[in-house]
Chain A
Amino acid sequence: MRILTGAVMAALLSTSGAFADPVDDNLVLNEETEMVVRTAAPDHVSEALDEVMSGWLFRGTETRAMQMDDFDNPGMIFVEQGMDTWSKVDGSEGKSCASCHNDIDSMAGVKATYPKWNEAAGEVRTLQMQVNDCRTERMGAEAWKYDSGTAINMEAALASVSRGVPVNVAIDGPAQSTWEKGKEMYYTRTGQLELSCANCHEDSYGMMIRADHLSQGQINGFPVYRLKNTKLNGSHSRFKGCIRDTRAETYSPGSPEFVALELYVASRGNGLSVEGPSVRN
């Protein structure tokens, strides 16, 4: 009996190491849209990874199910609020987003290409920066605070109409120097714990970090509805949280550093479907 118990214990111990591995599952949205949650790594990260995987694969059964149906996905509440804002007139010019862009469905595919080089401004811009440019330059309205409720709702509304479209951010041409800067940040250890993004999300994904599963840190699912704070979270706010956890001074959401990091991290997920608003814990 004692020997038998020992054998069972050994079996349990040997499987527990694989406990945090990504699951083998397919994400089909509303029983119609097939999403790419696992694909061959793009060329520029193929040295580090064979496959890129959505964070969805690292979550539990219930959390995964929540994202599969728009009614069950609490992030869609905020998408609806963003869509209301889309057609609401604001600012001195008497315009709404819809005045120029018509129905929000016309923006399908846009989220997949951001952050993106803006020739006129001579800088790489995130989607939120571009929205604010529209607000201040075309609508005569005030810019929204980066990652604030209204801004993130709009980003989620824009992401929602691009769901299923593969992420495809450009990293060459004028965007390349920003991308290189983001890459350097990704591999630079920071904070008292001396951790880089890569230490957790490249070297250790599939392992436990305390009680949680470490994913590859892909941002194709942003904005993310997190069960822990019951609201949408932007990628810059998430970066800030990660850097804070290394016990370092962090950058601010919307800062040039985070714009560069967003471009680099987004490029690591080129080929994965846009999922925002995704559901994570």
Chain B
Amino acid sequence: MASGVKPRVKVPKKATAGDSITIKTLISHKMESGQRKDKEGNVIPRSIINRFTCEFNGENVVDVTLEPAISTNPYLEFEAMVPEAGEFKFTWYDDDGSVYEETKEITVG
């Protein structure tokens, strides 16, 4: 597991049914591209988050493929429609097989 990885998510606690809300996500990750070399000239192995998904009550909201050119601590912001109260589930997939998860409840009213 890459060190110092910590997912963060900002979702409003409440929304109006049918309204779109803004979701902000950030994961601290070095996002080593695999293109760089160390002082001895050896390639530093690639280590990135390669996929991010967001689900709402089991239904896919967004599925993102991340590439090596994306900078350190990738920040993703998107909008989602909230039809009912429920739970957002966020998942980040690391090159080394690690999976980081975060969930947020939202109420409608």
Determine the distance from Cα of A72 to Cα of B10 in the docked complex, in whole angstroms.
10
Q: Tell me, yes or no, whether B60 is within 8 Å of chain A by CB.
A: no
**Which chain A residues (34-79) contact chain B, with CB distance < 8 Å?**
71-72, 74, 77
**Dominant secondary structure of chain A at its interface with chain B:** loop
Q: Tell me, yes or no, whether A81 is within 8 Å of chain B by CB.
A: yes
**Which chain B residues (16-60) contact chain A, with CB distance < 8 Å?**
24, 26, 28
Tell me the minimal C-beta distance from B75 to chain A in angstroms: 8
Residue of B nearest to A231 (CB): B72
Given contact pairs A80-B6, A81-B4, A71 touches B24 in the complex (Cβ within 8 A): yes
Q: Tell me, yes or no, whether A92 is within 8 Å of chain B by CB.
A: no
Residues of B near A74 (CB, < 8 A) are 73, 75
Determine the distance from Cα of A230 to Cα of B24 in the docked complex, in whole angstroms.
19
Tell me the minimal C-beta distance from B98 to chain A in angstroms: 18
Residues of B near A81 (CB, < 8 A) are 4
Tell me the minimal C-beta distance from B10 to chain A in angstroms: 5
Query: Are B10 and A77 closer than 8 Å at their CB atoms?
Result: no
Determine the distance from Cα of A139 to Cα of B9 in the docked complex, in whole angstroms.
35
Tell me the minimal C-beta distance from A153 to chain B in angstroms: 11
Given contact pairs A71-B8, A230-B71, A77 touches B28 in the complex (Cβ within 8 A): yes
Determine the distance from Cα of A230 to Cα of B70 in the docked complex, in whole angstroms.
13
Query: Are B24 and A72 closer than 8 Å at their CB atoms?
Result: yes
Tell me the minimal C-beta distance from B105 to chain A in angstroms: 18
Given contact pairs A77-B73, A230-B72, A230-B73, A71 touches B6 in the complex (Cβ within 8 A): no
Query: Are A71 and B26 closer than 8 Å at their CB atoms?
Result: yes
Residues of A near B6 (CB, < 8 A) are 77, 80
A-B residue pairs in contact (CB < 8 Å), sample of 7? A71-B8, A72-B24, A72-B75, A74-B73, A77-B26, A80-B6, A230-B72
Question: Chain B: residues with CB nearer than 8 A to chain A?
Answer: 4, 6, 8, 10, 24, 26, 28, 71-73, 75
**Extra contacts besides A74-B75, A77-B73 (8): CB < 8 Å:** A72-B24, A72-B75, A74-B73, A77-B6, A77-B26, A81-B4, A230-B71, A230-B72
The list of the 10 closest CB pairs from A to B, nearest first, reads A71-B10, A77-B28, A230-B72, A71-B24, A74-B73, A77-B73, A230-B71, A71-B8, A71-B26, A81-B4
